[in-house]
């Protein structure tokens, strides 16, 4: 008997389906392992895979098997010392009579180890995060289109032929084209029947009626059962769809009170935000604003690498953001978001102005505004002003980051996907 052994490599993603099924089944364990792995990494080191370990006992799958079945009679021996309802004490620890020596490493179990790819790791990392209150607004510059039904047409692809509508058209056409000859045929047949029944007419008149009946029947039969004009095709057109385009404003304080450690934390927070947005959303724009006493819109490279510094006037960044929104991002067309990072230090008379700018000018235009205060031992006036803003606006959120390990938990609190009822 011949035996064939397939030694081909598993190419063309032949095992991809099994891998996805495995990942779905152990989603909970993998998610916990990813969360543990994140706590040991820097933000800049997020985009690599991770080795995941799962205990072997969790890999057992349910199987169908034959049960005992049938009817069985079992006789249990009696016991003089115990009766029904007695409680048996647990034997003391160490009282077992098993043979063999204990393991010096304590209890252990073989673990199944596999490696998540970069894409899989990032999918689990950002799985339950989303921009809050993201809605579909007006059409974008290059709108998405959706094929929708638009009635029927006389021309089209044979695969779109609508048989029922075509047959209805054929029946209507046949009735219309044969209505006149059918009526004439009915009248001729009635006249011929009357002549034959009464015998009053001559034979030539009856023969003439017979010839006319033959011609009329031929005319009715000549009407085609189905014509190309009858064919109807399902028509579909491209309908523009509203898109959920968004813009995120990143505001970072680079004043003198923001030392290198604070700036490093702020940069890592915005790097995480940048990675999340560019990975999760296709139609999103990012606007970077750095500020000390003067705010300035910069590109991505300057935002993360520039060493410019100075005093602290937070309202300059808010005023610049409001100006950019009014000029380039009308709220009727865009979902507008903002994330601000600062150490809370601000010119004393400027904090009330920040509050007024947020309440009166910015928050009515944005979907969500997140404020992060970095390593502020004692909350200052800016924090207290922002607490008032939070109390009167549900789209405003604020958190504090005290150390590097707080970046990811705070980020998840700010951008956790909301449960939908």
The model carries a pTM of 0.53
Fold of the domain spanning 246-415: Rossmann fold (3.40.50)
271 vs 93: which has the higher pLDDT = 271
Q: In this predicted structure, what is the pLDDT of residue 322?
A: 93
Contact 128, 416 (CB under 8 A): yes
- pLDDT exceeds 90 at position 320: yes
pLDDT above 90 covers a percentage of the chain that reads 8
Structural tokens at position 275: 């990675």
Tens-digit pLDDT profile for residues 398-417: 988 888 778 878 888 888 77
Q: What is the pLDDT of residue 102?
A: 46
Q: Which residue has the higher pLDDT, 243 or 207?
A: 207
* Boundaries of every domain in the chain: 17-59+110-125, 158-235, 246-415
- pLDDT given for residue 130 in this prediction: 60
> pLDDT for 1-16, tens place per residue?
455 555 555 545 455 6
Which range has the worst mean pLDDT, 229-243, 272-286, 377-391? 272-286
Three-state helix/strand/coil letters over the chain: CCCCCCCCCCCCCCCHHHHHHHHHHCHHHHHHHHHHHHHCCCHHHCCCCEEEEEEHHHHCCCCCCCCCCCCCCCCCCCCCCCCCCCCCCCCCCCCCCCCCCCCCCCCCCCEEEEEECHHHHHHHHCCCECCCCCCCCCCCCCCEEEEEEEEEECCCCHHHECHHHHHHHHHHHHHHHHHHHHHHHHHHHHHHHHHHHHCCCCHHHHHHHHHHHHHHHHHHHHCCCCCHHHCCEEEEEEEEECCCCEEEEEEEECCCCCCHHHHHHHHHHHHHHHHHHHHHCCCEEEEEEEECCCEEEECHHHHHHCCCCCCCCCHHHHHHHHHHHHHHCCCCCCEEEEEEEECCCCCHHHHHHHHHHHHHHHCCCCCEEEEEEECCCCCCHHHHHHHHHHHHCCCEEEEEECCHHHHHHHHHHHHECCCCC
pLDDT digits (tens, 9 = 90+) for 57-78: 555 666 777 777 777 776 666 6
pLDDT tens column, 151-165: 888 888 888 888 899
Instruction: Give the integer Cα–Cα distance in Å for 136 and 240.
Output: 12
138 vs 92, higher pLDDT: 92
What is the predicted pLDDT for the residue at 119? 67
212's tokens: 């006319």
Determine which of 76-90, 257-271, 304-318, 401-415 has the lowest per-residue pLDDT on average: 76-90
- Report pLDDT for 321: 92
Q: How confident is the model over 97-109, as pLDDT tens digits?
A: 544 444 444 444 4
Q: Is 341 in contact with 377 (CB distance < 8 Å)?
A: no
Whether 289 and 254 have beta carbons less than 8 Å apart is answered as no
pLDDT digits (tens, 9 = 90+) for 130-148: 665 555 454 444 456 788 8
The more confidently predicted of residues 23 and 399 is 399
Contact predicate 389/396, CB 8 Å: yes
Over range 182-199, report the average pLDDT. 84
């Amino acid at each position: 008997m011949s035996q064939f052994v397939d030694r081909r490599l598993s190419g063309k993603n032949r095992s991809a389906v099994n891998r996805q099924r495995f990942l779905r089944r152990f989603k909970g364990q993998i998610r916990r392992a990813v969360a543990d792995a994140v706590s040991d990494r820097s933000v800049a080191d997020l985009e690599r895979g991770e080795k995941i370990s799962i205990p072997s006992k969790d890999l057992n799958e349910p199987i169908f098997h034959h049960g005992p079945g049938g009817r069985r009679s079992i006789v249990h021996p009696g016991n003089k010392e115990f009766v029904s309802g007695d409680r048996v004490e647990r034997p003391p620890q160490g009282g077992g009579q098993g043979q063999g020596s204990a393991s010096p490493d304590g209890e252990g179990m073989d673990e199944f180890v596999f490696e998540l790819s970069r894409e899989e790791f990032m999918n689990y990392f950002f799985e339950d995060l989303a921009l809050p209150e993201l809605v579909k607004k007006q059409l974008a510059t290059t709108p998405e289109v959706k094929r929708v039904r638009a009635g029927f047409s006389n021309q089209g692809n044979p695969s779109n032929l609508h048989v029922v509508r075509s047959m209805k058209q054929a029946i209507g056409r046949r009735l219309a084209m044969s209505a006149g000859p059918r009526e004439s045929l009915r009248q001729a047949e009635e006249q011929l029947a009357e002549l034959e029944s009464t015998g009053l007419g001559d034979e030539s008149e009856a023969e003439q009626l017979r010839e006319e009946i033959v011609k009329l029947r031929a005319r009715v039969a000549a009407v085609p059962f189905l014509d190309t004009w009858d064919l109807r095709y399902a028509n579909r057109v491209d309908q523009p769809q509203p898109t959920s385009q968004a813009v995120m404003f990143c505001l970072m304080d680079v004043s003198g009170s923001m030392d290198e450690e604070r700036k490093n934390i702020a940069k890592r927070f915005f790097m995480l935000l940048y990675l999340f947005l560019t990975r999760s959303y296709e139609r999103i724009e990012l606007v970077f604003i750095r500020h000390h006493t003067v705010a300035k819109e910069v590109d991505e490279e300057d935002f993360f690498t520039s060493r410019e510094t100075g005093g602290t006037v937070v309202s300059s960044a808010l005023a610049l953001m409001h100006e950019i929104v009014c000029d380039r991002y009308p709220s009727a067309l865009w979902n507008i978001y903002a994330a601000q990072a600062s150490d809370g230090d601000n010119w004393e008379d400027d904090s009330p102005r920040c509050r007024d700018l947020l309440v009166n000018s910015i928050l009515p235009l944005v979907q969500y505004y997140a404020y992060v205060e970095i390593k502020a031992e004692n909350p200052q006036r800016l924090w207290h002003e922002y607490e008032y803003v939070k109390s009167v606006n549900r789209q405003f959120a604020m958190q504090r980051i005290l150390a590097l390990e707080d970046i990811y938990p705070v980020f998840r609190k700010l951008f956790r996907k909301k449960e939908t009822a």
